[in-house]
Structure 1
Amino acid sequence: MPAPSTLAWHGDELLDDGVRELLCGPGAMFERRVEDVLGVPTEVFAQRAPHVPAMLAGAASGTPGLTYLAFAGAPDRAVTFAEAHRLAAAYARVLSARYGIGKGDRVAVAAPNGLEHILLWWGTLSLGAIMVGLNGWWTPRELDHGIGLAGPAVLFGSGKPLVRLAGTRAAADGVPVVSLDELHAAAVALEDPPAAPPGAGIHEDDPAAIMFTSGTTGRPKGATLSHRNLVHFGLFGGLGGAVAALTGPPGRRQVPDGVQRASVFANPLFHVSGACLALANAPLFGLKLVLPPPGRWDAEAALKLTHDHGLTQWTGVPTHFWQMLAHPRFAEYDTSRVATVGSGGAAFAPELVRLFEEKLPGVGITNGYGMTETTGTGTFLNGREMDGHPASVGAAAPTVRVQVRDEDGNPLPEGEVGRVHIAGAGVFLGYWGDEEATAEALTPDRWYRSSDFGRIVDGVLYLESRMRDLVIRGGENVYPIEIEYRLVEHPGIADACVVGVPHTVLGQEVKAVVVPREGARLTEREVRDWVAAALAPFKVPAHVEFREALPYNEAGKVMKRLLEEAPPPGRDHAV
């Protein structure tokens, strides 16, 4: 039988000896070694920060005057790393003195990205407390589930999410609901503000954040990420990006010497991609984050930010890039400094890659595959892999190992399909308050059992299918079973099934196939309104099809592939 296949990173072997020594040699930023991590030998970065707050402290002392946060429509307003460090200390003081927050306590937030939101993260983590990132689009019922799971001592919010927080059972039961504006006002009004956040005795394997992810049941679980996980994210991404830039094809765009790297900050902080960008990448590499205007994503606003702030990288989901590249006024904005594009969560269609080649020739594109449970780490698709294996999700990221295993946990040889497993310093601590789910997700030697199936071929990973037919809409994971449960609660619906259907810009849209009860009269609007009353807007079906019955196979399972096709000829779409 062929030997089991394991993907591991060998990107530094493409470098000459001098450059490799400069990047990865003893004492270098990306020096690696094997250490014990929670009882398992694991490859780690030797020169890492001891915890997340230390990364901001390092930026505040090393590059104090460098811009950390900039804001759309306010060219004269900016927050430096040193200012953010001082404000984080003030936030920590208020959180401790006014709300009694200390090490291990949970602090929850539901809010759009913003200065106050980011500073709350820093203040909370500086106390050794745990940040609970609630999805700002959740309904009060969904918020109650997350709050009940994490048990935070206080709830912070702003804008519409603050209103929804006030309508939760937790608020009615006495958990304080506080505006981020109120917290900020208290922090800046301190008469004797601290110069630095407190030393909270933080260990790198202490929990830092609870971020919600849906498992096979479709109910959100609280993936608990450690300080080590978040620190590791910045370093593995930095090393992968450095090697890609040094080994890329001739003509690849580069950031000019003396120009600060800058990115629009569009990914929400309750996503691992947004939190890691703000907490790890920015302080580690002096990255300026530009916050877009409040409200829905706007492609022209992002192009204007690129022009006004000289953005050097775009970070987002393919939906964002489609809208920007195809915008009729694209040519009116200066995008000449954009050297890299980073994404994850959804595949790049060939047409999108072609658009990049046409509109931003020479830009370096990286699409990552990972999940909240691995702090976004897994595989990278860029450079040679994107050219030679465009349908894959790429090769292993630095320090990460990837295997495909059978249902008994045995690693499979190349070419065979099995469950994707990921190991490394980015693997989470477990699901908060759910030992059973944690035991199911983590092997004894801390490999994460994903819900994805794939195969390894020629050093890259190909995904074959996803458990529960996950729908990825504009970068948001939508688990059909959660919507299906809501649909069948309707007194007029006898059966229902949810699938994803292709969409040029969003990647996929949600489609519900509904079987009405005998005698019931339903419209598409009624079905959509029923879902919208309980679930976030991105989960509301864009398409509703009515059928007399769902197609089941002999084993009693719905054949979803038949529902992704056009409705049968002659059938009405409404009852």
Structure 2
Amino acid sequence: MTVFARRHPHLPAVLLAAAEQHSDRPYLVFPDRQLTYKEAVDRIPAVAAVLRDVYGVGRGDRVAVVGPNSLEYALTLWAVAWLGAISVGLNGWWTGAEMRHGLAVAQPRVLVGEPRQLDRLTEDPGLPTVTFGEVFSQLGRAAAPLDPELGEDDPVAILFTSGTTGRPKGATITHRGLVNFAQDSQFRGAADALLAGRETPSSPPVSLLVGPFFHISGIGPLLAGGPFNGMTMVFPPRGRWDPLVHLSLTARYGVTQWSGVPTQLLRLLRHPALASYDVSTLRTIGFGGAPMSSELAALLGSVIPGARPAMGFGMSETCGQGTNIAGELLVDNPQSIGYATPTSEVRVLSEGDEVGEIAIRCPSGFLGYWGDPAATAAVLDADGWYRTGDYGRILGGMLQLESRLRDMIIRGGENIYPIEIENRLSEHPAILDAAVIGVPHDDLGQEVLAVVVSSLSAREVREWVGLTLAPYKVPAHVRFVDALPYSATGKLLKRELERSLGG
């Protein structure tokens, strides 16, 4: 594979270099407090000492973490990496049953989180379970040294992603994967500026980070992208995302970089109060998670002309690496998801210009799904090619996304796999048959529609799903039919179902 000859050997080395070069620069800015790069490096070994001495965490152990983004969450992730252990990011919106599944997969030594999320585990999870507050109240022990055997191909995190089985699988990512993610992005940005004749910014970026730490969009910038270029990361207060708060923080901290999903950017660019806030510091508007609409393309080119739009196509299994497209090329080609990034290889498994499954190979590729060799073998070959499950074609040297192999629904940037909801629906004795599809939504991109054969009410259907699945997976719409369409071979005809419903 193509790799950078000069690269950091692991993530703590990236942070240590940042603390040396950007010692007093703010690194993590939360509503109530902030840390500079030097302060973060000074505090992490103490957190690592608590995990080591009190909870027995050592090299290769898993530490499950759950909760909204916070300073304690960030430092815990760093402390885990410091010890050569592996963080297990549990989705903060999961129900207790979903969390128990994640714990069963990863078998962590300890679970650390916020009380609100931990309280969902109404049954004993079978392992030590503590709050961030309990961990941080014990600081003061002798600092834990950096694991001397830490290597770039060591696993650092398990990120949960779903597949055709409908049950979350733990994608195991490495130090190398995230370091390469950061270096590839930095190189790409510098080369892009050089080719476009733009001046390289004289100061490090300031990013308003909305991606949760259990997503690659959150943990990637936190552990790699931010420290690699001395970025200051500003975090909004807890609670539902608010465009006015986003605009206010942009003006207050001189934010140079927005990132998010298309639905969030649309709400920002459409907002009537946008002109009341100084967003002149913005240099980049980055997004992913869903294709760009023609409306968003038009707004990006006119509402904030000084900010350069950029879109990436990647996934947890590739640490977000795959393809990228930016600037006027993106605005002029909204249907495209761009060229392969500098260290990525992308191919379409088809003949000629036909639509085929997209495969990616890069140094940021994952090791496999934790504890699931069969699922790993189904998508990752011996040469490192990962079959994404997305369909596309290559036109004019650029990749164009055509469809999703698994009918995935993307609601506000959250990936929802219909089969998981369908499996839950089928467990109800009064539901004879069920199918789940996505329907368009102006703000969220898509919402969940359940089509069921049942005598239940819509409320009863939603309540049944909500008992075991996260709220964002609960169908926003329920339609009742006498029967679902099937082919002669017994295959559910979802496309025909969508047409019959006017989709």
Query: Which residue number in structure 1 is paired with residue 214 of structure 2?
Result: 270
- Shift in Å, 1:562: 3.1
Query: Which whole-Å deviations, capped at 9, do the CAs of 1:399-447 have from their partners, x for residues lacking one?
Result: 10011125xxxxx43x122221111101111111111111111112111
Asked if 1:212 corresponds to 2:163, the answer is no
Query: Which residue number in structure 2 is paired with residue 202 of structure 1?
Result: 150
Q: Does the Cα contact within 8 Å between 2:172 and 2:367 map onto a contact in 1? A: yes
Asked if 1:257 corresponds to 2:209, the answer is no
Query: Which residue number in structure 1 is paired with residue 68 of structure 2?
Result: 112
Query: Which whole-Å deviations, capped at 9, do the CAs of 1:354-390 have from their partners, x for residues lacking one?
Result: 2222320131111111111111110112235424532
Q: Distance in 2 between matches of 1:322 and 1:383?
A: 17
Query: Which residue number in structure 2 is paired with residue 433 of structure 1?
Result: 371
- Letter aligned with residue 540 of structure 1: V
Matching residue within 406, 430, 447 for 2:385 = 447
* Secondary structure in structure 1 of the residue aligned to 2:336: coil
Q: Does the Cα contact within 8 Å between 1:88 and 1:197 map onto a contact in 2? A: no
Query: Which residue number in structure 2 is paired with residue 87 of structure 1?
Result: 43
Matching residue within 241, 248, 251 for 2:189 = 241
Query: Which residue number in structure 2 is paired with residue 398 of structure 1?
Result: 342
* Secondary structure in structure 2 of the residue aligned to 1:394: strand
**Percent identity of equivalent pairs:** 49
Higher CA-based Rg: 1
Q: Distance in 2 between matches of 1:537 and 1:566?
A: 27
Change (3 A) 1:502 1:555: same
- Shift in Å, 1:169: 4.4
- Shift in Å, 1:167: 2.3
**TM-score of the aligned structures, taking structure 1 as reference length:** 0.84
Q: Distance in 2 between matches of 1:396 and 1:264?
A: 26
Query: Which residue number in structure 2 is paired with residue 324 of structure 1?
Result: 268
Q: Does the Cα contact within 8 Å between 1:255 and 1:312 map onto a contact in 2? A: no
Query: Which residue number in structure 2 is paired with residue 562 of structure 1?
Result: 496
- Letter aligned with residue 480 of structure 1: P
Q: Does the Cα contact within 8 Å between 1:263 and 1:290 map onto a contact in 2? A: yes
* Secondary structure in structure 2 of the residue aligned to 1:368: strand
Q: Does the Cα contact within 8 Å between 1:500 and 1:511 map onto a contact in 2? A: yes
**CA-atom RMSD, angstroms?**
1.7
Asked if 1:230 corresponds to 2:183, the answer is no
Matching residue within 11, 16, 22 for 1:52 = 11
Q: Distance in 2 between matches of 1:197 and 1:261?
A: 30
Asked if 1:552 corresponds to 2:486, the answer is yes
After TM superposition, the structure 1 stretch with the greater mean CA deviation from structure 2, 111-120 or 351-360, is 351-360
- Shift in Å, 1:468: 2.1
- Letter aligned with residue 202 of structure 2: D
Q: Distance in 1 between matches of 2:226 and 2:418?
A: 35
* Secondary structure in structure 2 of the residue aligned to 1:509: strand
* Secondary structure in structure 2 of the residue aligned to 1:225: strand
Matching residue within 204, 223, 238 for 1:294 = 238
Q: Distance in 1 between matches of 2:123 and 2:253?
A: 39
Query: Which residue number in structure 2 is paired with residue 183 of structure 1?
Result: 135
Paired residue total: 502
Matching residue within 364, 371, 376 for 2:315 = 371
Q: Does the Cα contact within 8 Å between 2:292 and 2:335 map onto a contact in 1? A: no
Q: Does the Cα contact within 8 Å between 2:297 and 2:331 map onto a contact in 1? A: no
Asked if 1:130 corresponds to 2:60, the answer is no
Change (3 A) 1:523 1:374: same
Q: Distance in 2 between matches of 1:243 and 1:255?
A: 10
Q: Does the Cα contact within 8 Å between 2:190 and 2:200 map onto a contact in 1? A: no
Q: Distance in 2 between matches of 1:552 and 1:398?
A: 44
Change (3 A) 1:304 1:387: closer
* Secondary structure in structure 2 of the residue aligned to 1:530: helix
Q: Distance in 1 between matches of 2:123 and 2:337?
A: 40
- Shift in Å, 1:288: 0.5
- Letter aligned with residue 483 of structure 2: A
Query: Which residue number in structure 2 is paired with residue 12 of structure 1?
Result: none
- Shift in Å, 1:328: 2.2
- Shift in Å, 1:78: 2.2
Runs of 4+ in 1 over 3 A off after TM superposition: 254-258, 565-568
